[in-house]
């Protein structure tokens, strides 16, 4: 059967390096004769508690270890959030609005020279457009990453970042469709 639909998965998992034989021992299973007991891989535990084993290459092409980042610093704090090489910083310049998110960010260099201010939509679009949406930034990132992937900078990391951006955009589009279906899109209703 030919599969014609595509999907992007999003999961936060727990994992630990484990050979195929160690996984079988962990599960109290007998090692199948047709499998290599020395295959490197990972024990994977999903959010619902389900566990499985993934071969090393398949795991490492699909997952990237997640390290909690320093949160954005809010107005009035001394240190901004370093983004890359401690030379570029992103700072939030306003307090959270009614929905809990901030709307004004600045990206600047180590000498506090502003590279770019970002203003996000404040309030429902039905009351007027006054800023960009999350989806707008994702569309820009998707375009840039697709450009890199079609040129001399194509690499697995860009490919995975592109999939993550497409996944994020798909989830936000789903949220919008759900809000439209409930008749609350363009309002502050939850």
Neighbours of 2 (CB within 10 A): 3
Where do the structural domains in the chain lie, given as residue ranges? 14-62, 68-132, 133-185
User: Among 40-44, 66-70, 149-153, which is the least confidently predicted range?
Assistant: 66-70
d(CA 11, CA 153): 27
Q: What are phi and psi of 116, to 5 degrees?
A: -160, 135
Digit-coded pLDDT (tens) for 111-162: 766 688 899 999 888 888 899 999 999 999 999 999 999 999 999 889 888 9
d(CA 82, CA 84): 6
- Global pTM reads 0.66
d(CA 41, CA 110): 41
Q: What are phi and psi of 52, to 5 degrees?
A: -150, 175
Residue 75 has pLDDT above 60, yes or no: no
């Amino acid at each position: 059967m030919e599969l014609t639909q595509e999907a992007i998965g999003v999961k936060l998992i727990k994992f630990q390096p484990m050979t195929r034989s160690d996984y079988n021992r962990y599960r109290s299973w007998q090692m199948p004769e047709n499998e290599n007991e020395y295959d490197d891989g990972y024990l994977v535990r999903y959010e619902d508690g389900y566990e499985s084993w993934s071969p090393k290459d398949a795991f490492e092409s699909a997952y990237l270890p997640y390290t909690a980042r320093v949160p954005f610093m809010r107005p009035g704090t001394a240190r901004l959030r370093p983004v890359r090489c401690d030379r570029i910083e992103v700072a939030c310049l306003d307090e959270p609005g009614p929905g809990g998110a901030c709307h004004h960010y600045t990206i600047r260099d180590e000498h506090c020279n502003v590279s770019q201010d970002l203003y996000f939509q404040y309030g429902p679009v039905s009351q007027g457009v006054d800023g960009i949406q999350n989806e707008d930034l994702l569309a820009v990132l998707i375009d840039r990453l697709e450009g890199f992937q079609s040129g001399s900078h194509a690499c697995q990391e860009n490919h995975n970042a592109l999939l993550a951006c497409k996944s994020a955009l798909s989830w936000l589009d789903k949220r919008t469709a759900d809000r439209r279906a409930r008749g609350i899109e363009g309002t502050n209703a939850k």
